[in-house]
Each structure stands twice: as structure tokens, then as C-alpha cells.
């Protein structure tokens, strides 16, 4: 039994976050674009980005300061040229978003300075107010505008509920020529061949038991690219957002860092502000420092959370500045203007990913990556808050410019297209899902306990041994059973978990988001370099 379709497209975009959608709009000027996404088009981490997009917009700010803040947060591993191009391109890309219909929050009183139109937030690690936002739901505002644009574009087709399985390589194994995708609604695997393939599949937060990420963040692009021979880099640097709301019904709801930028303080159970014990910047220190401080305070006290004291805000200010957060809190019976909010760190952002050059090109020909799946060199060992959406839109633009210079043929002249059809072989339907569920829970618990905010050689070695066993169990299930989304995602989580652990084991120091109790010092002599696998 084989799949019943082999399709050919020009530009094959896998994923529908801000990076993928903005790239698709740019590519559509050069030819037809097909977007494949594994859920609905608006699913994914981009939609849940609360804070905003960092960009030099105020005349009180400058490119040099934004670059410097990014480099400090990145703990020596940022590539300065990539940071500079990202920062300097930022304002133009913001203007483009505005043209596409994104409405950033404007200042209510511009009489003091009419040139300062937008209400700019400040977040941890930033020396200036430079975060453009749409209240506290920036991701939703940007996504809504982009989705409207792509849905009405005559050269863009959208295919929802298609789960990418693996990339397809040319006979010499050097060029990506498409991908296999499970059409969940029709129940078979499609072979989609493309002139160029673009990974915009997002991050891998579901690798961990507690995460701010949606269920789609299973590291698919990283795993597929690595299996196809692409290099990956810096996967040991996984950012944990310091303030995820700790409530049995909140699941993965973030409390935006912008709240701390407006004056909220992290406190312990007695109400003591503790962040100055760890960093002179207090609650506005970079995320790696804040997350470790919270982790240490929780371990020291034995409490299951710390608290974010938001009582400095009136209910009116909450409604004005953070309406979505207030609405969520009220739905849970919480009043953040009267009582502190219980918060804990949660896996949030993968600072590493598929290695790309300054044009978004991976080490596999005709395979590009944009957004969280890519390791561009901008974030280094720790991403500066609100630089992720900036990076996505800047590199989407750069990839489109690269495509404009290539002028590839409409489609490869591979001898026999049918040779790329999917063959299910002797695979049979999965009889029980309990094994998949058990392996999923064990893997994510293992990663949280042993490869989380604080690590040790012993923990990493134990995680590595157990992951090898889980990988083998999943490998057998993959080849013996007809594919389901759960099985595909579990396979990818296994591979990404393995890569994170191997990267962490190879870095015998503590830097940025990677903190190992056996190697507490930063060692620039040996480790001022990317981890390449």
C-alpha cells in the first residue's frame, strides 16, 4: 500500500507562525507558495507571544544600545554581525507589519512629544523602552493581520492538518527536494516535492514537562533537518520563562515580562523581594538569571512557587496595559491588583536550532529555516526578551531576497517522480496508545528533572542512557505501525531530547541558559564557541 498523491510545488513552507507567514507573503511575489501546517493556521507559539517586538523606534534609543543589550544577554555567543543586521533592519520590518495591518498600541498622550507615537514597553535585559506591543496580545495581533494577508493572496495555498514526517533528499543526499506529510483528515501520507523547502516549524517546548508552549511545539523541524544531514547548533541553551502562572487550571499561561518592566516585583512567600540578592538589576535581570533565582528560592524554601507582586497596579492600569492577563486572572478567581500571583518557570524558547547562515540557508541545499527552529547566531546563549519576533521577520525578509537571486527551475527534473511515493510496507494500525502516552510522559519528565534549569554531569548522563532506550522503543513503534500525529511527534521529541542532552554534555562550563553545578564557571578559553552537532 502506498500514498495516493505525489504533488509538486515551487515554494514549500512548513509551518504557519510569524516567520512562515511573513516569508510566504514575500515569496509569493516570486511564484506560488504552499503552506503546510499541522493544525489550524493560527495554532503555534507565535499567537501566544504577549510581550511584543523589540526594535529601536524612539529617538531616545539607538541601534548601538539594542545591539549591546542583546550581546550582554547572549553571554558571549551572539554573532555580532547577525545581531547588527537584525537590529538595524528592525524598524523597516516593523513598518511592513504596520502596512500589513498590525495595529500596535499607541500612546494616549502624545502632546509632550508628537514624534513618540507608540507606547513602548521595557523588559528584562533592555536598557531602554523599545518593545512595540498590541496591549498584552502582540502575537495574536500580528498573526491575525498576517493570516488575513495570506488567505486573500492569489498565489498562496494553505493546507491545514498536515503533519510533516521527514524531508526528502535528492539521490546524492545533498539537496532537499520536498517532504512527506501525513494528511490527518484523509488519513494518508502525501509526497510533496518543492523547488525550495522552508522550515518554519517553531520550537520544542513540549520536550519538557512544564512549558509555556502550545501542543504543536514538538521540535519537528529540528529533528527532520538533523535526520536529513543538516547541522544543528546550541541546543543546550533552552530558555525557561521565569513567570508562568502557577494555578491548576492555568496550564501554560504566561505573565508577560513587561509587567516587571512596569514595576512588578518577584517576592517570596513572606513578601520579600529577592531578586537583588542575585543581580543588581533585580526583577529586570535577563531571563536565565531570573529563572535560576526562582528555581533556587523554590528549592531553598520547599515551596512550589514564588510570587509576582502586581499590587502596585490599580485595576484601571491593568485594564489599560494588560487586559488579556487581567481577564485570564479574573476567570480563575484572581485579582492581581490586590494579591500577588503565584508563578513558576516553564520551558519557553529554544535558542539553538537548525544552523543557518546570514541568509537563512541550512547546510543542506535548498533547505532554509526561519523563526524559532533556526539558529541564526542572534540569540547566543540566552535570548533577549522580545527579540524572537524581530529575528523571525528580519530573516524571513532575507530569505526572500536570497530566493530572488537564485532563479531555480520550476521543479526538479528527477527521473521517476513515483520513486518518492510513500510506502507503508508491512505496517499495521496502532492497537494501543498507552505505550505512546507512557513514553511521552516519561521523556518529558526526564528532561524536566535532569536537563532543566540547573544540570549536573550525573543528571545528564542518566538522561542520556534512558533516552537511548526510549528512542529504540519509539523507533520500533515507528516502523511497525501506521503513522499517527502522536507517534510522529514522539519520534521527533526523542531525537530533539537526545540532541539537547548531547549538546549539554559537551559544554563543560556554565554560560547563559546552560548551568551545570559541576562546571559553575564560564570558560571562554575552551567554550567561547557554538555547539555544533
Known catalytic membership, residue 287: yes
- Grid coordinates given for 481: 505501525
How far, in Å, CA of 162 to CA of 38, rounded? Answer: 4
Phi, psi of 488 (to 5 degrees): -60, -45
Give the helix/strand (H/E) hosting 345. Answer: strand 341-350
Burial 163-198 (b: 16+ CB within 10 A, else e): bbbbbbbeeeeebbbbbbbbbeeeebbbbbbbbbbb
Give me the half-sphere count of Cα atoms (radius 13 Å) on the Cβ side of residue 301: 17
- The set of residues, in sequence order, having a beta carbon less than 8 Å from that of 471 and lying 6+ positions away, is 494, 495, 498
User: In terms of C-beta density within 10 A (0-12 exposed, 13-18 middle, 19 or more buried), how is residue 290 classed?
Assistant: buried
Give the max Cα distance, the chain: 73
User: What number of residues does the chain have?
Assistant: 533
CA dihedral over 242, 256, 219, 239, signed as positive or negative: negative
Give me the half-sphere count of Cα atoms (radius 13 Å) on the Cβ side of residue 147: 19
> 3-state class of 372 per DSSP?
helix
How far, in Å, CA of 144 to CA of 149, rounded? Answer: 9
- Grid coordinates given for 358: 546570514
User: In terms of C-beta density within 10 A (0-12 exposed, 13-18 middle, 19 or more buried), how is residue 288 classed?
Assistant: buried
How far, in Å, CA of 164 to CA of 197, rounded? Answer: 12
How far, in Å, CA of 386 to CA of 18, rounded? Answer: 13
Q: Which of 287, 455, 459, 491 is catalytic?
A: 287
β-pairing, 176-183 with 162-169? antiparallel
β-pairing, 232-233 with 353-355? antiparallel
How far, in Å, CA of 202 to CA of 15, rounded? Answer: 7
The owner of cell 507582586 is 309
- Which positions are annotated as active-site residues? 287
Amino acid at each position: 500500500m502506498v500514498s495516493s498523491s505525489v504533488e509538486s510545488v515551487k515554494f514549500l513552507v512548513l509551518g504557519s507562525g510569524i516567520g512562515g507567514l511573513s516569508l510566504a507573503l514575500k515569496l509569493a511575489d516570486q511564484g506560488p507558495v504552499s503552506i503546510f501546517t499541522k493544525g489550524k493556521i493560527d495554532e503555534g507559539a507565535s499567537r501566544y507571544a504577549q510581550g511584543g517586538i523589540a526594535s529601536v523606534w524612539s529617538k531616545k534609543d539607538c541601534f548601538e544600545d539594542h545591539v549591546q543589550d542583546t550581546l550582554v544577554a547572549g553571554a558571549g555567543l551572539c554573532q555580532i554581525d547577525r545581531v547588527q543586521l537584525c537590529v538595524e533592519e528592525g524598524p523597516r520590518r516593523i513598518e511592513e507589519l504596520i502596512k500589513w495591518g498590525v495595529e500596535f498600541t499607541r500612546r494616549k498622550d502624545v502632546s509632550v512629544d508628537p514624534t513618540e507615537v507608540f507606547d513602548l514597553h521595557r523588559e528584562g535585559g533592555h536598557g531602554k523602552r523599545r518593545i512595540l506591543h498590541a496591549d498584552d496580545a502582540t502575537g495574536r495581533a500580528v498573526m491575525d493581520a498576517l493570516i488575513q494577508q495570506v488567505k486573500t493572496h492569489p498565489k498562496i495555498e494553505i493546507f491545514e492538518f498536515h503533519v510533516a514526517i521527514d524531508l526528502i533528499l535528492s539521490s546524492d543526499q545533498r539537496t532537499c527536494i520536498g517532504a512527506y506529510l501525513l494528511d490527518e483528515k484523509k488519513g494518508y501520507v502525501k509526497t510533496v516535492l518543492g523547488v525550495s523547502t522552508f522550515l518554519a516549524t517553531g520550537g520544542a517546548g513540549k520536550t519538557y514537562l512544564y512549558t509555556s508552549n502550545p501542543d504543536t511545539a514538538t521540535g519537528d523541524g529540528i529533528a527532520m533537518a538533523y535526520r536529513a544531514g543538516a547541522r544543528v547548533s546550541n541546543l543546550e541553551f533552552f530558555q525557561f520563562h521565569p513567570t508562568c502562572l502557577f494555578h491548576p487550571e492555568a496550564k501554560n499561561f504566561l505573565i508577560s515580562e513587561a509587567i516587571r518592566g512596569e514595576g512588578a516585583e518577584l517576592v517570596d512567600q513572606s513578601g520579600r523581594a529577592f531578586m537583588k540578592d542575585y543581580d543588581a538589576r533585580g526583577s529586570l535581570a535577563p531571563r536565565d538569571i531570573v529563572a535560576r533565582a526562582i528555581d533556587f528560592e523554590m528549592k531553598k524554601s520547599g515551596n512550589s512557587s514564588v510570587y509576582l507582586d502586581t499590587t502596585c497596579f490599580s485595576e484601571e492600569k491593568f485594564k489599560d496595559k494588560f487586559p488579556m492577563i487581567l481577564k485570564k486572572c479574573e476567570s480563575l478567581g484572581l485579582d492581581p491588583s490586590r494579591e500577588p500571583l503565584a508563578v513558576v518557570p516553564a520551558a519557553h524558547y529554544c535558542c539553538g536550532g537548525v544552523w543557518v547562515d546570514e541568509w537563512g540557508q541550512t547546510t543542506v541545499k535548498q533547505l532554509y529555516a526561519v523563526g524559532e527552529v533556526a539558529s541564526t547566531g542572534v540569540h547566543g546563549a540566552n535570548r533577549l526578551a522580545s527579540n524572537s519576533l524581530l529575528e523571525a521577520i528580519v530573516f524571513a525578509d532575507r530569505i526572500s531576497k536570497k530566493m530572488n537571486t537564485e532563479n531555480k527551475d520550476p521543479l526538479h527534473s528527477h527521473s521517476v517522480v513515483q520513486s518518492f511515493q510513500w510506502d507503508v510496507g508491512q505496517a499495521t494500525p496502532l492497537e494501543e496508545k498507552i505505550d505512546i502516552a507512557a513514553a511521552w510522559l516519561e521523556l518529558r519528565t526526564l528532561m524536566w528533572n535532569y536537563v532543566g534549569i540547573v544540570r549536573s554531569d550525573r543528571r545528564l548522563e542518566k538522561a542520556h542512557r534512558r533516552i537511548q532506550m526510549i528512542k529504540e522503543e519509539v523507533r520500533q513503534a515507528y516502523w511497525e505501525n501506521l503513522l499517527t500525529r502522536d507517534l510522529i511527534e514522539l519520534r521527533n521529541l526523542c531525537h530533539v531530547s537526545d540532541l539537547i542532552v548531547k549538546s549539554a554534555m559537551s559544554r563543560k562550563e556554565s554560560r547563559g541558559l546552560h548551568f551545570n553545578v559541576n562546571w559553575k564557571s564560564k570558560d571562554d578559553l575552551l567554550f567561547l564557541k557554538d555547539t555544533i552537532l
